[in-house]
């Protein structure tokens, strides 16, 4: 297994980047960086597309939260519709108007604490990315289309076409007729349908 391959560890139920083998174990690192952990090489497997995307989104959200927490100079914004947030923001605005820096700091501290406890630390106006799995299925309300083009010819293609048909049998019948009339034998066939994405869960 190549270093950097994303694998799923069923013991921790996490996706990690394969690093190397150490004795009877393999070393995995969290997606986006972090502390490595040991895993049983007989139990890990390559991560599925959904698992890789979910791990990437989780790492993106973690980095975003870290940047916010590492920037104490950034004043927190009130969450719209939250009375406590609005009250603390109003208190901060009054302190600013009175040039009371200590009261402004106190209001920011209380607002951050309230948002961690009541809003999961998510600041207003910011959105966390969430991966939502979808399944792609054929649209049953639309008919698929079949078509064939004659590409026979020594110097250039014949170019004759069957036009869109609703069944492959219609295209094959056109090919037979065209071959009888022209003795051309080579065709390019195409199939087109309509697809929709259905949300899972």
| pTM score over 0.85 | no
Write down the mean pLDDT value for the chain: 83
For the ranges 48-52, 113-117, 161-165, the maximum mean pLDDT occurs at: 161-165
* Domain count across the chain: 3
pLDDT in tens, 149-158: 999 987 788 9
Using the predicted structure, report yes or no on whether residue 88 has a pLDDT greater than 80: yes
Last residue of a domain, one of 51, 66, 81: 66
Query: Is residue 121 helix, strand or coil?
Result: coil
Is residue 126 domain-resident?
A: no
Residue 26 host element (H or E)? strand 25-30
Domain that holds residue 38: 6-66
Both 159 and 112 in a single domain? no
10 backbone dihedrals φ, ψ, rounded to 5°: -65, -20
Query: For residues 174 and 4, what is the distance between their CA atoms, to the nearest angstrom?
Result: 52
Is residue 124 domain-resident?
A: no
Is residue 131 domain-resident?
A: no
CA angle 67, 70, 73 (to 5 degrees): 110
Contacts of range 109-115, beta carbons closer than 8 Å, 24 or more positions apart: 111/76, 111/78, 111/85, 112/76, 114/84, 114/85, 114/88, 115/76, 115/79, 115/85
Both 51 and 79 in a single domain? no
pLDDT in tens, 102-147: 888 888 888 888 888 887 655 444 555 566 677 888 888 888 899 9
Both 19 and 53 in a single domain? yes
């Amino acid at each position: 297994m190549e270093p950097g391959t994303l694998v799923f560890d069923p013991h921790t139920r996490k996706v990690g980047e394969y690093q190397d083998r150490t004795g009877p174990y393999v070393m995995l690192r969290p997606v986006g960086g972090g502390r490595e952990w040991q895993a049983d090489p007989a139990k890990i497997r390559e991560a599925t597309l959904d698992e890789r995307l979910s791990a990437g989104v989780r790492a993106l959200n973690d980095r975003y939260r870290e940047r916010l927490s590492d920037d104490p100079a950034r004043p927190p914004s009130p969450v719209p519709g939250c009375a406590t947030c609005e009250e603390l923001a109003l208190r901060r605005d009054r302190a600013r108007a009175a040039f009371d820096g200590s009261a402004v700091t106190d209001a920011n501290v209380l607002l951050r604490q309230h948002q961690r406890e009541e809003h999961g630390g998510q600041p207003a106006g910011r959105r966390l990315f969430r991966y939502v799995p979808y399944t792609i299925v054929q649209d049953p309300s639309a008919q698929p289309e079949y078509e064939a083009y004659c590409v026979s010819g020594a110097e250039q293609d014949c170019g004759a076409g069957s036009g869109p048909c609703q069944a492959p049998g219609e295209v094959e019948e056109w090919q037979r007729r065209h071959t009888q009339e022209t003795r051309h034998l080579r065709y390019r066939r195409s199939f087109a349908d309509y697809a929709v994405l259905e949300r899972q869960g």
